[in-house]
Amino acid sequence: MLYLVEMIVQIPHTLDPALVAKIKQKEKEYSQKLQREGKWRHIWRVVGEYANVSVFDVASNDELHALLSALPLFPYMQISVKPLANHPSSIVQE
């Protein structure tokens, strides 16, 4: 199943910068692992924001929830999820 996932990151300014750096490094490693596995199909930065728009390809709502809640930045994120379906006018069918 394909999902459009929008993530807005809101790290408190009071958080220790060294801790923030560690969290960001873990986030990068985890997200790249999911990309290599084909579960995190696309990721784009939203210009001018600490946010991204992504496409995930996973088996179920539960799998997506597990992957998202395991993100190291999850406690600092506002996340929106939209399930996707094939469009009849698309020349590419997933």
Query: Is residue 94 predicted with pLDDT exceeding 90?
Result: no
Q: Is 51 exposed, middle or buried (0-12, 13-18, 19+ CB in 10 A)?
A: middle
> Closest Cα to residue 11, out of 79, 68, 74?
74
How do residues 4-47 score in pLDDT, each as one tens digit? 999 999 999 999 999 999 999 999 999 999 999 999 999 999 99
How do residues 62-74 score in pLDDT, each as one tens digit? 999 999 999 999 9
pLDDT the model gives residue 93: 72
Domains in the chain, ordered, with CATH? Answer: 2-84 (3.30.70.1060)
Q: Give the single-character DSSP code of 83.
A: E
